[in-house]
């Protein structure tokens, strides 16, 4: 099933989406959002039951008549980096160094990004304050449906309730500067992250699973209608189940948590292409550019870049005397 969160005439709702785009509002008392519905269902079976009840109810609006919101407002967003080709290209672009760090092969590394920056499938995306080098990143995200701690990869599959497209918008100039401090992305990843267009339940994508446990989904990225990237999700070096297991190690994952696959290779972002080609070709995103990301079995998101706010001035660090009491 495909679940959508939407807004119509200043009213918000959640619905099951038919193949033709017809919306069937979910009649679940007290569930004002998809994340509340997921929490109340305690797993995929409960969500499918709620969805079946919605399909039995009268149809509502068509998806073209509403504004699609992010499918959910996640409490946390962990973004992994699981595509070796992406690491190679971006490392060459940012650091001028080839290859992949040996430590990358040890575990599926991730960072926490901003859950407040989530935007919908067709929302405009503002340029981050102070940035001149804006980039997109084509990813798929898994959504947690049941709480779990110290999970095994085998057990983690029952904790994934569905998948959605994830565009991890990146201000490359801000990112490259701030990561010299050795903490990770900060304002370079803080302004927008697209989720959408729907939450596709995990059972819908099982037919795409290959013999190694990876989801073999075709991925494409276009800028202003021109194809710039194409890859397969199955080129990930870890499965989503392995990622969930690692994320839950020594801690907990909870319903609504989002885990991004990391950016795919072969043009999943502009920075990778810059590293491969040795020049900024295609150029950084400009005002008015529209980025469309499509994932087989899930759908498409399409966002247009618009002007953002000017940065509020702050002083540089004050060099202190290191006086002691």
Q: Are the CB atoms for 17 and 4 separated by under 8 Å?
A: yes
Q: State residue 42's pLDDT score.
A: 84
> Residue 267 and residue 285: Cα distance in Å, rounded?
14
Percent of the chain with pLDDT over 70: 100
Q: How far apart are the first and last CA of the chain?
A: 64
> Residue 165 and residue 27: Cα distance in Å, rounded?
26
Burial grade of 21 (CB within 10 A; 0-12, 13-18, 19 or more): middle
Other beta carbons less than 10 A from residue 243's beta carbon? 25
Percent of the chain with pLDDT over 90: 93
Q: State residue 95's pLDDT score.
A: 77
Tens-digit pLDDT profile for residues 311-320? 999 999 999 9
Nearest to 232 by CA among 140, 105, 169, 156: 140
Tens-digit pLDDT profile for residues 104-155? 999 999 999 999 999 999 999 999 999 999 999 999 999 999 999 999 999 9
Residues 6 or more apart whose CB falls under 8 angstroms from that of 218 comprise: 230, 232, 233, 295, 296
Residue 41 is encoded by which pair of tokens? 């269902």
CATH architecture of 77-306: Alpha-Beta Complex (3.90)
Nearest to 77 by CA among 220, 193, 223: 193
Which whole-number Å values give the CA distances from 239 to 106, 251, 262, in the listed order?
A: 14, 19, 12
Handedness of CA 231, 247, 77, 169 (dihedral sign): negative
Phi, psi of 185 (to 5 degrees): -60, 145
Residue 111 is encoded by which pair of tokens? 């960072």
Tens-digit pLDDT profile for residues 169-206? 999 999 999 988 988 889 999 999 999 999 999 999 99
Length of the chain: 325
Q: What is the pTM of this model?
A: 0.97
pLDDT surpasses 70 at 232: yes
Q: Could you please report the per-residue DSSP string of 137-168?
A: -EEEEEEE-S-EES--HHHHGGGEEEEEEEEE
Q: State residue 96's pLDDT score.
A: 78
pLDDT surpasses 70 at 30: no
Q: Which residue has the tokens 């939450």?
A: 199
Domain ranges of the chain: 2-69, 77-306
């Amino acid at each position: 099933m495909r679940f959508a969160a939407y807004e119509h005439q200043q009213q918000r709702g959640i619905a099951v989406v038919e193949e033709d785009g017809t919306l069937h509002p979910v009649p679940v008392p007290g569930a004002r959002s998809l994340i509340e519905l997921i929490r109340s269902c305690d797993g995929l079976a409960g969500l499918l039951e709620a969805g079946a009840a919605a399909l039995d109810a009268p149809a509502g609006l068509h998806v073209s008549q509403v504004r699609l919101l992010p499918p959910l407002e996640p409490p946390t967003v962990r973004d992994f980096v699981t595509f070796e080709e992406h690491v190679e290209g971006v490392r060459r672009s940012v650091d001028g160094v080839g290859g992949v760090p040996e430590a990358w092969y040890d575990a599926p590394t991730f960072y926490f990004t901003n859950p407040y920056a989530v935007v919908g499938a067709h929302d405009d995306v503002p340029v981050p304050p102070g940035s001149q080098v804006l980039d997109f990143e084509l990813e798929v995200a898994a959504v947690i449906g049941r709480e779990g701690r110290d999970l095994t990869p085998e057990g983690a599959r029952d904790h994934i309730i569905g998948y959605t497209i994830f565009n991890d918008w990146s201000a490359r100039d801000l990112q490259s500067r701030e990561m010299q401090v050795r903490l990770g992305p900060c304002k370079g990843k803080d302004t927008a992250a697209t989720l959408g267009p729907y939450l596709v339940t995990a059972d819908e994508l099982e037919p795409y699973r290959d013999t190694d446990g990876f989801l073999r989904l075709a991925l494409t990225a276009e800028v202003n209608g021109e194809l710039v990237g194409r890859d397969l999700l199955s080129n990930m070096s870890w499965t989503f189940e392995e990622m969930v297991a690692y994320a839950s190690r020594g801690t907990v994952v909870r319903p609504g948590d989002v885990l991004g696959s990391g950016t795919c290779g072969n043009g999943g972002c502009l920075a990778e292409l810059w590293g491969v080609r040795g020049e900024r070709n295609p150029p950084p995103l400009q005002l008015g550019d529209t980025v469309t990301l499509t994932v087989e079995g899930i759908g498409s998101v399409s966002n247009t870049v618009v002007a953002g706010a000017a940065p509020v001035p702050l002083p540089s660090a004050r060099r202190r005397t290191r006086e002691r009491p």
